Amino acid sequence: MLLDLCLAATLGLSMTSPVVAQAFDWSAAYTKANAALAKLSLQDKVNIVTGVGWDKGPCVGNTQAISSISYPQLCLQDSPLGIRFGKVSTAFTPGIQAASTWDIDLIRQRGQFMGAEAKAAGVHVQLGPVAGPLGKIAQGGRNWEGFGPDPYLTGIAMAETIQGMQGSGVQATAKHYILNEQEKNRETMSSRVDDRSMHELYLWPFADSVKAGVATVMCSYNKINGTWACENDNALNKLLKQELGFQGYIMTDWNAQHSTVQAANMGLDMTMPGSDFNGGTILWGPELTKAVNNGQVAQTRVDDMVKRILAAWYLVGQDVGYPPINIQANVQGDHKSNVRAVARDGIVLLKNTGSVLPLKKPTKLALVGSAAVVNPSAPYDALKTRTSADGTTLSAVATANKNTIVVVQSVGPVILEDILALDGVKAVVWAGLGSQESGNALVDILYGSTNPSGKLPYTIAKSATDYGTAVTSGDDSFPEGLYIDYRHFDQAGIAPRYEFGYGLFTNSGSVGGAEVPQLYLTLPSGAPAAPPKQLRGFTKLSLQPGASGTATFNLRRRDLSYWDVASQNWVVPGGNFGVSVGASSRDVRLTGSITVS
């Protein structure tokens, strides 16, 4: 039966962040950075801001050591889910799985453990977490690295991850900044977005990242309104450094630099990897030195780059007792516990007809599909792929067994209509991407040792066309504006198959469960047009069967605001705000209002 969770909600108005932040002392870091800067020559400074070149160091990105200030060869290493090329490191769950847990404690611990492994391997800068792509396009090829298309959920997850990583002593990187929403033509296309959508959707999680004290931001491959992201004055200087008050440094994505002078003057602070992938083109290094000497780039601009980089290094304490670089080190510790917890608690139960789950020690159990392959061989795989290409395998299984359980392991939304139409399919389990503990996590759920508590971090539609967005072959003008994912479905009156925030919970009788009360706000009627409701709070309550709990939500001023283009500021509209609290964006259990005069 369904776990009956009675929810009581308390609204608290607060100017503080929902994230419990660990204080990072930028002022003290800059004091040290200024003292170090005075000891550096122009050549030293250029070496700090320029990578040594592709494939010319132990890490995917490297800078030269500066002995005069005991500054090491900086190691920058992928990825947002662990150490790339690490031989004895943990394969952490991707961001989208962490988001599916809606559990800020697990999300922060995931960041903490990733940071601990990076530090133990001598990695100074971990190239994650991901806030861009946000995920406006359901088919986006790298959406899975991030936390889903809701800026509030992504912002909270970014802040928690950054706090965890940097609390362990490694510099976190908020990427990819900004409007890199698809992989197709990402290195040539231009993203053109209106100012309000930029602030309320795409810039939002980067603002939370800056608030959390992120050390560095990676600019993206695409153009923004016709200008490359890594030399875009509005994006780098005006929005990020001035409006958001970012105190760290901006690095390029690998080979995303397109100029020497323009990039320097428009706000770029570090180029990676320092050359193109052939090693033939170097846009900074000696070229930056020439630009400074001939007056095209001011010495003060280079000093600012260096101070930002050094301050981030000092910020997380990397100047004292930091381990040497050793990507091959055994750094796993007990971190698989977090992988299993995130994999398990991110599993979403979509359907459970007749309480077929949890499994009750069935006498016969058949495993069919890609997960059934052990030590695969090429001929067998090829034949299996060919025979199942027409989609008849699942139909045949559901016909043969009227208690078929479908487990979906996917990077993002998949249209399920054909599967749900099969009478034999009694349960659908959305397992997502469980990484190295995927099997154990799935068994925990299927056999009922843990009740499923995951919630969808995106909408599953009935048809791909229902999303209202798609990968484009040319430039993208973002015509959908504010209306992506559930905002679009609500505004257009489209019924999804499974809405944002959805997830069933079963009660096996003696095993507790967890519910995620979600708070959505509706702007007053006199405010500018906005989505019918927007997520502005959530918490995960662990409850015993039949128990109730209290959810308290703290609202920041920005949560009550819209971005006013004319005044270039966040504005809280007067009037009655609609308040909806429920188990998903459409399963509303409690409504009310807040009046702002």
Q: What is the pLDDT of residue 15?
A: 47
Residue 200 lies in a domain: yes
Angle subtended by helix axes 438-446 and 336-345, to nearest 10: 50
**pLDDT reported for residue 375:** 60
pLDDT at 205: 99
Let me know the angle formed at the C-alpha of 176 by 277 and 58, rounded to the nearest 5 degrees.
Answer: 40
In a domain, 357, yes or no: no
Chain segment 79-125, per-residue pLDDT in tens:
999 999 999 999 999 999 999 999 999 999 999 999 999 999 999 99
365 confidence band (pLDDT: 50, 70, 90): confident
Residue pair 59/324 in contact (Cβ under 8 Å)? The answer is no
The pLDDT score that the predictor gives to residue 412 is 97
Q: What is the pLDDT of residue 473?
A: 96
List helix spans (H) across 212-328: 233, 261-265, 286-293, 299-315
Model confidence at 11: pLDDT above 60: no
Domain contains 373: no
The pLDDT value recorded for residue 384 is 61
**CA-based nearest residue to 58, from 44, 32, 76:** 76
State the total domains in the chain.
1
Distance CA 157, CA 142 (A): 17
Please give the Cα distance from 231 to 250 (Å, whole number): 11
What CA–CA distance (Å, rounded) separates 507 from 2? 6
Band of pLDDT at residue 5, cut at 50, 70 and 90: very low
Residues 493 and 432 sit within 8 Å (Cβ to Cβ)? no
pLDDT band at 389, cuts 50/70/90?
Answer: low
DSSP assignment of 413-441, as one string? ----HHHHT-TTEEEEEE----GGGHHHH
- The CA distance from 62 to 74, in Å, is 5
Residue 498 pairs in a beta bridge with: 460
What pLDDT does 449 receive?
92
**Would you say residue 304 lies in a domain?**
yes
pLDDT at 8: 47
pTM: 0.95
Please count the residues of the chain.
Answer: 597
Which residue type, as a one-letter code, is found at position 135? G
Query: Which of the two residues, 165 and 19, has the higher pLDDT score?
Result: 165
Q: Please tell me the least confidently modeled range out of 222-226, 372-376, 590-594.
A: 372-376
Least reliable range by pLDDT among 7-21, 236-250, 354-368, 536-550 = 7-21
Give the per-residue pLDDT at 7: 45
Least-confidence region, from 144-148, 155-159, 160-164, 389-393? 389-393
Give the SS3 label for residue 552: strand
Q: How confident is the model at residue 548 (pLDDT cuts 50, 70, 90)?
A: confident
Which tokens belong to 93? 């769950």
Q: Strand, coil or helix: what is 7?
A: strand
Identify the CA nearest to 501 among candidates 491, 487, 513.
Answer: 487
Residues 6+ apart with CB under 8 A from 559: 152, 521, 536, 537
Of the listed ranges 217-231, 287-301, 471-485, 538-552, the least confidently predicted one is: 538-552
Dihedral sign for Cα atoms in the order 221, 227, 230, 233: negative
Give dist(CA 260, CA 444) in Å, integer: 54
Residue percentage of the chain with pLDDT more than 70: 93
User: For residues 378 and 275, which has the higher predicted lDDT (pLDDT)?
Assistant: 275
Residue 319 among the catalytic residues: no
Looking at residue 4, its pLDDT comes to 40
For residue 580, tell me if it sits in a domain.
no
- pLDDT value of position 382: 59
Task: Look up the domain containing 50 and give its range.
Answer: 23-323
Q: Is the pLDDT of residue 429 over 90?
A: yes
Three-state SS at 181: coil
Give the pLDDT band of residue 508 (cuts 50, 70, 90): low
Q: Is a pLDDT exceeding 70 seen at residue 20?
A: no
State how far the Cα of 566 lies from the Cα of 594, in Å rounded to an integer.
Answer: 26
The token duo for 385 is 């792929």
Greater pLDDT, 507 or 209: 209
pLDDT score recorded for residue 16: 55
Runs of H (alpha helix) within 346-474: 378-387, 392-400, 417-420, 438-446
Q: Quick check: 386 pLDDT over 60?
A: no
* Residue 12: predicted pLDDT: 52
- Quick check: 197 pLDDT over 90? yes
Q: Are strands 588-596 and 575-582 parallel, antiparallel or unpaired?
A: antiparallel
Q: What number is the average pLDDT over the span 31-39?
A: 99
pLDDT at 1: 27
Do the domain assignments include residue 96?
A: yes
Give me the catalytic one of 44, 103, 253, 345.
Answer: 253
550 located within any domain: no
Q: How far apart are CA 426 and CA 158, in angstroms?
A: 36
Report the CATH number at residue 226. 3.20.20.300
Binned at pLDDT 50, 70 and 90, residue 367 comes out as confident
What average pLDDT does the chain have?
Answer: 94
Task: Tell me, yes or no, whether 522 lies in a domain.
Answer: no
**Model pLDDT for residues 242-262, shown as the tens digit of each residue:** 999 999 999 999 999 999 999
| Residue 344: per-residue pLDDT | 98
pLDDT confidence of residue 368: 84
What is the predicted pLDDT for the residue at 22? 72
